[in-house]
Chains A and B, each alone.
Chain A
Amino acid sequence: MDWQTLATQLFPGGHAIVERDNFLSGSAQVGGQPIDVIGTTGHVPIGIEIALAQATAILNTVQQHPGRPILILVDTQGQRLRHRDEMLGINSYMAHLGKCVDLARRKGHAVIGLVYDQALSGGFITSGLIASACYALPQATIRVMGLPAMARITKVPEERLTELARDNPVFAPGPENYLRMGGLHGIWGEGTGGDLARELARALAECTPDDRRMALGLERGGRLLAQPVADAVRTGSDVRPA
């Protein structure tokens, strides 16, 4: 789904979102209340400029529109893989974006991430994954790395990884796996007749400040050890398996 179609479905009353160099920004309304929107499109790689642009927009919202919710639309092929980005410290630009999102959340802005096409690793970890809650469309793909590169780095044969990526929740790129693991709060467009506007309104209403993803992963059976291990470390007790 292209971003314009998405925006029309999310905001049937209209919106003022523009795109420039694959960076989306603007505002719209949900339930009569304004919401600020930032995001990416065109499967763009996240380099330092676009990371900074997103962070700038977040801090603008914090300064100019206290309390206003923020929607982050995610479509990226991951971090840009260039010497120049590394030289200039792309990890710092990513961290800065993540910290801006975190600040916004702590200052009472509900921040919702929506993966509407692709999300890879570094392009996603300090936007969608640091939001109050992250959602995805059913046709989205979320992955850590492309299989050929993964095979080269792990020395696991590509055929084996391909096999695992078909139905192993740890490797398969479908949003259902991220949902089961607690990484996503929900998948939109299923069971609600595809009313994205209503899903967004509900997500905003259900927003909580704490990070519940480990508990969700345990409840849903996708990540059985994370919560028990974290609890055991936290309380000085033994790991109680699910």
Chain B
Amino acid sequence: MSYLELTARQRIPAIFDAGSFEEFLPPSKRIASPHLAQLDSPVSFDDGVVVGRGKLGGHTVFGAAQEGAFMGGAVGEVHGAKLAGMLRRAIDERAYAVLLLLESGGVRLHEANAGLIAVSEVMRAMLDVRAAGIPVVAVVGGSNGCFGGMGIAARCANTVIMSEEGRLAMSGPEVIETASGVEEFDSRDRALVWRTTGGKHRYLLGDCQVLVADDTDAFRGAALDAIAALKSGEVGLTLEGLLAEQDLLARRLRDAEGVNEPMELWRRLGIPEPASVPMLEAGAFLELAQQHRARLHTGEQ
């Protein structure tokens, strides 16, 4: 079924082994945001995130799913603390892996300073999980995308799995349009938005390592495969891995001299008909991408 159309609570049982997920600090505990009332904003009993532990292919995997429909999935004090607590528990209990179903605008502006510190703590905790030898996989396939501080956090995971419909970036097109004008970024030009931040583009650039159809079985399979692949190597940060990533990012910058249109980037990657990329169906796209997409010169970081 479509992953995009599900709520966070529905995604969890669709991805994890049936009936295996145990939620930590469930909504019946009613731990909601202490900051939203002063802005006349309604709260949610889970503050927009489900965290817990389940099985994936029989292994104990800790996970979270952000609810994009509540405050855009943005991170406030409680939401961030739930994520950080789950990540620390994953280390305590020597989880097999951590799987993050991300859908977020980043820092929850309604909680400003508390939200910013919270996102920072989530990033640190994700890297602590990796340092403990536990792979971290991020899934980005919700309709709100993964932006802001969470767009950064996603790239602190070992592997990012996206669908074509997913978006991964820092600032949203509306924010850029407001700050720098519609000529800079027309937020209503959906095709441009997806060329700039969507799954296919991120896959071609090397910021997303796996691209799947918008289907819960496809995401589940990709998560299983990604975790299995990571288990055989070093999942913590290494100097070697970061040097390889730095090299990829430096090359990307060099090869993009004077370029402001994604299709031109794809053309420079060697793709013969860049204009056809958005319309290519999955199989044909992946085949084309395999030949041309940017890659790290050593293992993925």
Partners in one complex: yes
Interface SS majority for chain A: helix
CB <8 Å contact, B117 and A230: no
**Most chain A C-beta atoms within 10 Å of own C-beta, residue among B31, B35, B51, B107:** B31
Chain A CB within 8 A of B200 CB: no
Interface size class of B (residues with CB under 8 A): 35 or more
Contact with A along B246-274 (1 / 0, CB 8 A): 10011011001001101001000000000
Q: How far is the CB of A103 from chain B (nearest CB, A)?
A: 5
Complex: A176 Cα to B46 Cα, angstroms:
30
CB <8 Å contact, B207 and A92: yes
CB <8 Å contact, B252 and A226: no
Chain A CB within 8 A of B39 CB: yes
CB <8 Å contact, A88 and B78: no
Residues of chain B with a CB closer than 8 A to A211's CB: 121, 124-125, 128
Among residues 180 to 207 in chain B, which have CB atoms less than 8 Å away from a CB atom of chain A?
Answer: 180, 184-185, 196-197, 201-202, 205, 207
Complex: A85 Cα to B252 Cα, angstroms:
12
Chain A contributes a number of interface residues (CB within 8 A of B) equal to 80
Other A-B pairs beyond A55-B246, A211-B128, 11, CB < 8 Å: A81-B171, A96-B249, A99-B237, A102-B237, A103-B237, A106-B237, A125-B152, A170-B111, A213-B121, A225-B77, A234-B89
Q: Which residues of B contact A (CB under 8 A)?
A: 24-25, 29, 31, 34-35, 38-39, 51, 77-78, 80-82, 84-86, 88-89, 92, 107, 109-121, 123-125, 127-128, 131, 147-149, 151-156, 168-171, 173-176, 178-180, 184-185, 196-197, 201-202, 205, 207, 237-239, 242-243, 245-246, 249-250, 252-253, 256, 259-260, 262, 265, 301
Q: Which residues of A contact B (CB under 8 A)?
A: 48-49, 52, 55-56, 59, 62-63, 79, 81-96, 98-100, 102-103, 106-107, 121-122, 124-126, 129-130, 142-145, 149-150, 152-154, 156, 160, 164, 168-172, 177-178, 181-183, 211, 213-214, 217, 223-227, 229-236, 238-239
